[in-house]
Amino acid sequence: MLEIEGLSTGYGRVQVLWDLCLKVEEGEFVALVGANGAGKTTLLKTISGVIKPWSGSITFLGKRIDTLHANDIVDLGLSHIPEGRKLFTDMSIKENLEMGAYPKRTWKERRETMKWVFSLFPRLEERAGQLARTLSGGEQQMLAMGRGLMSKPRLVIIDEPSNGLAPRVVSEVFDILGSLHKEGITILLVEQNVRQTLATADRAYVLENGRIALQGSCTFLRESDHVRKAYLGL
């Protein structure tokens, strides 16, 4: 579904990613883990068209997308749920969700899609008229995820959904990601919560200093001495 070959990019003259290769098959739950500053967020922004690559290629559903605008990439069925939620804080839950359904192919079905989103996040339905800025951190993350799902994506890329949340809410967020995966949605997750991520995803890549350091099944990575020492504190 998603294939990245030889990707390099950065900001201004500062290079962040070097010759990166990554693949996500349809129906997979793939994770990208690593420390702060490793380049994880930069990679997701490049996939979704916010940042342009310096070299290499990104292919989604057999189509090159590395030269497309971000809105065109969303139209193809790729949704980016960004770090920090990036909600429209002075708009209601319902209005935020409607903003996620702006592509022409999904706008007409927004009411049916919203019902599905509310089935995943019942608390959002209870507070549908409430302003986004009045929600708790966990509820805001649920709204960000719900908004990303309103475009009915084939692939969801999600950046640090557990950041700043209480442990109980983190478990709830990962449960929801697992439910989405069971419904057939392909997921590429960026996370610093390595333990929870490796317990949930199918495969993972370890990104260090802008390069892929390790990759494999989550079982393999949990048993890796490097991962155990560097990320699991074992």
pLDDT digits (tens, 9 = 90+) for 146-166: 999 999 999 999 999 988 888
Which domain covers residue 112, as residue numbers? 84-152
In this structure, the answer to whether residues 63 and 174 fall within a common structural domain is yes
- Give the whole-angstrom CA distance, residue 69 versus residue 91: 26
Give the pLDDT score at 169: 85
Global pTM value = 0.92
pLDDT digits (tens, 9 = 90+) for 25-62: 999 999 999 988 899 999 999 999 999 999 999 999 99
In this structure, the answer to whether residues 55 and 94 fall within a common structural domain is no
Both structure tokens of 226? 């490097």
Beta carbons of 38 and 209 less than 8 angstroms apart: yes
- Give the whole-angstrom CA distance, residue 141 versus residue 208: 26
**CB count in 10 Å sphere of residue 99:** 14
In this structure, the answer to whether residues 69 and 157 fall within a common structural domain is yes
pLDDT digits (tens, 9 = 90+) for 112-126: 999 999 999 999 999
Percent of the chain with pLDDT over 70: 100
pLDDT digits (tens, 9 = 90+) for 209-225: 999 999 999 999 999 99
Scan for tokens 């390069």, then name that residue: 211
CATH of residue 49's domain is 3.40.50.300
Beta carbons of 44 and 157 less than 8 angstroms apart: yes
Domain boundary residue among 152, 182, 209?
A: 152
